[in-house]
Amino acid sequence: MRRLPLADPGIPVHRSPAAYLRWLVRKQAGTILVAMCFGIAWMLAQALMPAAIGQAIDAGLGHRDTRALLDWATVLFGLGVVQAAAGVMRHRLAVSNFLTAAYRTVQVVTRHSVRLGATLPKRVATGEVVTVGATDIAQLGNALDISGRLAGSVVSFVTVAIILLATSVPLGLLVLIGVPVLVLAIGPMLKPLHRRQQAQRELAGDLTTYANDIVHGLRVLRGVGGEEVFARRYATRSQRVRAAGYRVAGVESTLDATQILLPGVFVVLVTWLGARFALTGVISPGQLVAFYGYAAFLVQPLSTLTEAADNLTRGLVAARRVVRILDIEPELPEPETPDPVPDEPGEVELADAASGVRIAAGSLTVLVVSGQPSAARLADRLGRYTAGSVLFRGVPLDRLPTAEVRRRILVSDTGSRLFAGPLRAELDPSGALGDERILAALGAASGADILAGLPDGLDTAIEERGRSVSGGQQQRLVLARALLADPDVLILVEPTSAVDAHTEARIAARLAEFRTGRTTVVLTESPLLADRADTVLFVSDGVLAAAGSHAELLADPAYRAVVLRGEDDDRPGAAADPVADADADADADADAGVGVGAAGRRPGAAGAGAGRSGTAAEERIGAVAGDPTLPAEPRRAAEVTE
Amino acid sequence: MTVQLPVATPAQVRRYARTLARRHPKALATALVLHALAAIAGLGAPRLLGNLVQAVQDGTTRVTVDKVALAIAAFVIGQSVLTRFARLVSFRLGERVLAELREEFVRRVLALPLSTVERAGTGDLLTRTSRDVDALARTVRFAVPETLIALVTTVLTLGALALVGPLVALPCLIAVPILWASTRWYLRRATAGYLRENAAYSDVNEGLAETVEGARTVEAMRLARQRIRRTDGDIGRSFAAERYTLWLRSVWFPAAEVSYVIPVVATLLVGGLLYTHGMASLGQVTAATLYVQQLIDPVDRLLSWLDELQVGGASLARLLGVSAGSAEPRSADDPDGVRSAADSAGSAGSAEARSADDSDGARSAADYPRAGAGVAPALVATGVHYSYVDGRDVLRGIDLTVRPGERLAMVGPSGAGKSTLGRLLAGIHPPRAGSVTIGGVPLVSLPLDRRRREVALVTQEHHVFVGTVADNVSLPRPDATEAEVRAALRAVDALGWADALPDGLGTLVGSGGTELSAAQAQQLALARLVLADPHTLVLDEATSLIDPRAARHLERSLGAVLAGRTVIAIAHRLHTAHDADRVAVVADGRIVELGPHADLVAAGGDYAALWDSWHGRH
């Protein structure tokens, strides 16, 4: 048996679903051929059994010839043994063919998925790819699995046809025409059955989704109640599945009865005609029994034929999905003749033309972003997840190979995920770092307490999607992982959004130290992080509005509104808080109801952000660009305009 | 760390299967009788064919042949008609039993104490709701009726064989020992093997899903090699599991197939010898041979469904096992609870008798006055200790009195025990030592629905249920009017976007529906809370995923709606603390600072340092 997984699954052909299926077949043509040989031996042995029984009855019993009886009984037994032996070999090869096709598909889809990376979720629903693993690979496997049985069916059908015609032409023709007619007659009945089964399966699938939904939401339910409602709704849906099941039962029981009736009537017909022929001596009594046996046997190869057609159709449908995924190409093109990366950073490590943001090399820069595009979009541009005019050490990012960009610049955003596996491998995928370094990074991410809570420390297995740790813990582990990756430029998007203020303060204090001498960009609204930055850049509506230290920038009401979240401003400005204006009445009620805090001043018209014009922004960019070391003096848009 | 939920014992499963069978005695009897009749009808043809061969051998007329052929046709038609109804009855019975099983199971899940769910993790429960329910469906739909039919058919065919002639029937028995031994060997290993195979297959799937869902992280962290290695490793394990079951089949299949052919050969041989010695007729031998051949099908089906039956039994055990843990006390199922609700009008007579059971002289649930007047009773924690793992206390001696109508903010570093304390205050977990009482009654002794009218908990966990927006909000009060739902949404600033959805409040959301942001999901959770209207609310980071400025606004409008209610807010945003009546700083399982914001800032402790840093002051 072929050892799996394959060391190299090969380069798939994905011109069309059929081409993909053919590629799979070509790749395992050897085992498919062997499976066919065993399939033929297996089916032939079965096909010849009625003949042996007939001969035993005629030659042995009819002539009371013990010797002949013994001989034919031995032949019969021999056929049985061949059937069993060839059967198991055919089965083994069928499983091998099934698994090879299924696993090979998982392998090529996985390889293609990791090649696509960030492009994948943008171009295809993740459910689509998961379906490949959940059902499609089985369909592809089935399409190849049936090859052995199919070959056996064709050969045995032909063999029986020859025997029948040689014995009696009219009876032979009756069987050869009758059996396909039977199989075809049952075919149309399968459609409504499949339709109803499909309907029930879908309802049952919904029901399972619903039950899973209940389990996922159990904690929420426990908090506020609603169990009875859910039990009732579940029961309603469950009864719908039952009703669909009743509809399936109606067709299925009729089909079952038909599958007894049609072959039964046919066998009666064969027997009746056979008996009449036997009466006139055209055929022997043993041959009559054999005909009875053939008529019963032939149903099997013919249903295998229909099954094969069905499997192939489903296999093509499955292949279509696989091909659709394999057809996707990475979104951003690779440069044909990439530029080399300067080894030494200049003064400016990263410069974004559209916003005017320039990141000084070796500094910890906090980007506070207000308005559109969002911080995440800006980070995507800086890390080349979307196209943009960004210079890395003076070289445009689109002139660098993507792999090189990923190696140099790491964007760790809020969508960053943990994967299942031991924590150590999670934090240090390279496996090259020592415990000391890992613990240091965990410490910087204020995650030492997570480790203390895990039974096996760094060797503890983390569950799928990091399920076994809380949201805040996941975020800190993701941060530690990003720190350990130690890229030239580390871009963190809201790295502390899910942790408490105490922890956030600790992370803010340790982050700079851990990244000393390396370029670090943090996109955040957290004052605790901004407070620790070498430089804070305030980007409003897509352009750099101010730069300076956190304390200096706090003088800017627009900046203040963003980082202090209206801490002491009840109404932090029209642009910053549309909700407040839209629902002023509710707000007033709220103030009355809460009755605490919020007594602060209300800046008139909160105009800080109002006066920013395009020219002002450009001037500022010029100013900052002229001095990339970004002096501590705050530059405010308002000042420039005023 | 995760502990599996319990699994029912084989005896429990058997007992349950028996009660299940007894629940529908008529349908079950009808199905069995019809199947038996169908099987008997199916036995006519070989016997008659045997007669026909005999008649042909002896020389007979065309009329006799025609008559016999007609008789066979009649049996075939009879068999198919009987089969139609037998199957219909048993399929329907299966569907009915299945619906009952899964509905009962979901009720069990809904009654599980949250602490049990959390200890076991949702993974195990999810496997049970999806994979085990599916496996059981397959068993009830196919395996049970098929084995029953196969069993009936086998027994009746053997009977028919014996009727043909006891002597010609005997040879078929020589296959029994081989069949018995090989099947026994196989079944002992099969279930575990197939379960392992399924688990390995799920791993392959999970790995692929993880790769795809985390595709961007894979690219960012350059994890391509690791992901490929993970999938190839999963495939290797899946292949090993497949090879094991394949090996089992490679032994069992040939043994079974040879066992099927041996009786045919033996019948033919022995029958032939009996015939040559005049001890049996040609017709008898033919009929016997055909019967023995006809036996192969039901026996094969019987055997091949056996492992499916085993899998179904294992699934049933896991489904039944869910309730083996204790369920939450619920007034609906709990006669005591019902009585206490009646007593709540004022009389505490019956409570006297039970109060002896309660420790520390705390009053029992029964005489706890259910105040409808909107005055929240005091929530008091005294000397509370709690540990998830024995010997590792997360809370170490918490004393806290939450004053009625007060807004208390809890802050502190991660892992300090804030959330745990929140859960204890909401009555989710009982304290390991000490007590949490409301109006003097231990919180966890209250029936679940009553407890929740007192204290509700909303965490940062944002789950949107499958259903409409209105469904999601009205969970705690399904009878709520649309106006009430709208008012609740307005109170959490959510009415605007909810109305803007394609179908307004009727828009389908949750898995498969319109996707809501995490912030919107949290707003729904809070709207739910408004509708539930408990005396005391525990908000555990309930607004953490909402844009900070919007969150503050939301908290204020929520505050207006919940005026007079006691609110315990666990927060990592300091403005929540700033707005509260009192702030409790939790560190290392203890409350280290407690007092109004201004006092704590003035005191110059931990909290003050944090506050200063927030404002860029060093």
Interface size between A and B, measured as CB pairs under 8 A: 564
Mark residue B101 as left, alpha or beta (left: phi above 0; alpha: psi -120 to 50; beta: remaining): alpha
| Alpha-carbon torsion, ordered B197, B201, B202, B203, to 10 deg | 100
Q: Given an 8 Å threshold on Cβ–Cβ distance, is B212 in contact with A129?
A: yes
Residue A59 contacts B where some CB pair is shorter than 8 Å: no
Phi, psi (degrees; rounded to nearest 5) at B414: -55, 145
CB contact under 8 A, B414 and A505: no
Is B262's pLDDT higher than 60?
yes
A596 touching B (Cβ < 8 Å):
yes
Least confident range of A419-423, B129-133, B334-338, B465-469: B334-338
Taking contacts as CB-CB distances below 8 angstroms, the residues of chain A near B290 are 289, 292
Q: Are A466 and B123 in contact (CB under 8 A)?
A: no
Side chain identity at residue A243, one-letter code: A
CA of B88, closest CA in chain A: separation in Å?
5
Cβ separation B549–A229 shorter than 8 A = no
Measuring CA to CA, which residue among A583, A76, A570, A69 is closest to residue B557? A583
Low-confidence spans in chain A with pLDDT less than 70: 465-468, 565-642
Using a CB–CB cutoff of 8 Å, tell me whether A13 touches chain B. Answer: no
In this complex, do A223 and B414 lie within 8 Å of one another by their Cβ atoms?
no
* Contact across the interface for B210 and A272, Cβ inside 8 Å: no
Q: Which residue of A has its CA nearest to B332?
A: A228
Which of A31, A58, A79, A114 is the best substitution to test chain B (most B C-beta atoms within 10 A)? Answer: A114
By the CB < 8 Å criterion, does A169 face chain B? Answer: no
CB contact, 8 Å: A184 with chain B?
Answer: no
User: Residue written as tokens 């046997």?
Assistant: A297
d(CA B444, CA A557): 49
Instruction: Kindly report the nearest CA distance between residue B436 and chain A, in angstroms.
Output: 17
Q: Where are the domains of chain B?
A: 1-162+308-326, 166-279, 335-367, 403-431+443-614
In chain A, which among 555-574 make CB contacts under 8 A with chain B?
561, 564-567, 572
Contact state of A107 with B579 under an 8 Å Cβ cutoff: no
Hey, is the C-beta of A330 within 8 angstroms of any chain B C-beta?
no
Which residues of chain A lie closer than 8 angstroms to B560, CB-CB?
586, 589-590, 592-594
Most confident of A208-222, B272-286, B558-572: B272-286
B92 to chain A: nearest residue by CA? A246
Nearest to B204 by CA among A107, A298, A127: A107
Instruction: With beta carbons less than 8 A apart as the criterion, state whether A446 and A500 touch.
Output: no
Q: Tell whether B87 lies on the interface with A, counting CB pairs under 8 A.
A: yes
First to last CA, chain A: 81
Q: Number of C-alpha atoms within 13 angstroms, CB side, residue B603? A: 15
pLDDT, mean of residues B155-166 = 89
Pairing of strands A364-370, A519-523: parallel
Architecture of domain B403-431+443-614: 3-Layer(aba) Sandwich (3.40)
- Selecting from B92, B102, B459 the residue whose C-beta is nearest the C-beta of A249 gives B92
At residue B236, the pLDDT reads 96
Amino acid at the residue A536:
V
List chain B residues with CB under 8 Å of A132: 208
Q: Any residues with CB less than 8 A from the CB of A162 and at least 6 apart, and which? A: none
Q: Does B18 touch chain A (CB under 8 A)?
A: no
Residues in chain B: 618
Cβ(A35)–Cβ(A94) under 8 Å?
A: yes
Selecting from B118, B466, B544 the residue whose C-beta is nearest the C-beta of A498 gives B544
Note whether A33 contacts B: Cβ–Cβ < 8 A.
no
Encode pLDDT of B202-246 as tens digits: 888 888 888 988 899 999 999 999 999 999 999 999 999 999 999
Enumerate the residues of chain B whose CB falls inside 8 A of the CB of residue A64: 275-276
- Which of A502, A572, A579, A597 has its CA nearest to residue B407? A597
DSSP at B165 = -
- Residue carrying the six token digits 């906090």: A366
More confident residue, B10 or B362: B10
Please state which of the ranges A509-523, B63-77, B256-270, B437-451 shows the lowest mean pLDDT: B437-451
Query: Could you say which residues from 378 to 437 on chain A have a Cβ atom under 8 Å away from some Cβ of chain B?
Result: 383, 385, 403, 406-407, 410-413, 415-417, 419-421, 425, 429
B1-162+308-326 against B403-431+443-614: fold identical: no
DSSP symbols for B337-348: HHHHHHHTTS--
Residue-wise pLDDT for B162-208, tens only, equals 988 888 888 888 889 999 999 999 999 988 888 888 888 888 888 88
CA distance A593 to chain B (A): 4
- What burial letters (b/e) apply to B397-412, b meaning 16+ CB within 10 Å? ebebebeebbbbbbbb
> Which residues of chain B does A247 touch, with a Cβ-Cβ cutoff of 8 Å?
none
Q: What pLDDT score does B171 carry?
A: 86
Asked if the bond preceding A487 is cis, omega within 30° of 0, the reply is no
Residue A620's pLDDT is what? Answer: 36
- pLDDT tens, residue by residue, B22-62: 888 898 899 989 999 998 998 888 788 888 878 887 878 88
Per-residue pLDDT at A465: 66
The pairing of strands B392-402 and B379-389 is: antiparallel
Give me the residue label for tokens 């499963």. Answer: B13
B274 touches chain A (CB under 8 A): no
Contact B215 A120 (CB under 8 A): yes
- The verdict on B204 touching A (C-beta cutoff 8 Å) is yes
More confident residue, A132 or B82: B82
What phi and psi, each to the nearest 5 degrees, are found at residue B493?
60, 25
CATH of domain B1-162+308-326: 1.20.1560.10
Cβ–Cβ contact A122 with B under 8 A: no
